[in-house]
Amino acid sequence: MQTIYTKRPTVLIAVSPDGTTFVIERRCRSLPCDDGEQAFFYCCLQDGSAVSWMGENYYQLADGTTLLAVACRLTTPGDSNLERAAGIEPA
């Protein structure tokens, strides 16, 4: 069954305890036959690695590192670069 992303992705800027900054993409995901009650958020890093939502503004990487989301922004149609959508200037 095909997965449907019902909303534009939200870009989150999150920081680890050691100060490393991460860009997380969060999408609302549901199946075509769902009435919305079974929808859930899918979160991943730019490389596609899954990120778990822990509640409030906390997320967790696969290696157990806890991240605190410090900013978020909806992407606009046509944004192909998450860093640009998040307002981060390229290094």
How many other β-carbons are positioned within 10 Å of the β-carbon of residue 8? Answer: 14
Question: In the predicted model, is pLDDT for residue 91 greater than 70?
Answer: no
Going from the C-alpha of 26 to that of each of 18, 52, 91, the distances in angstroms are: 23, 10, 24
Question: In the predicted model, is pLDDT for residue 21 greater than 60?
Answer: yes
User: Is the pTM here over 0.95, yes or no?
Assistant: no
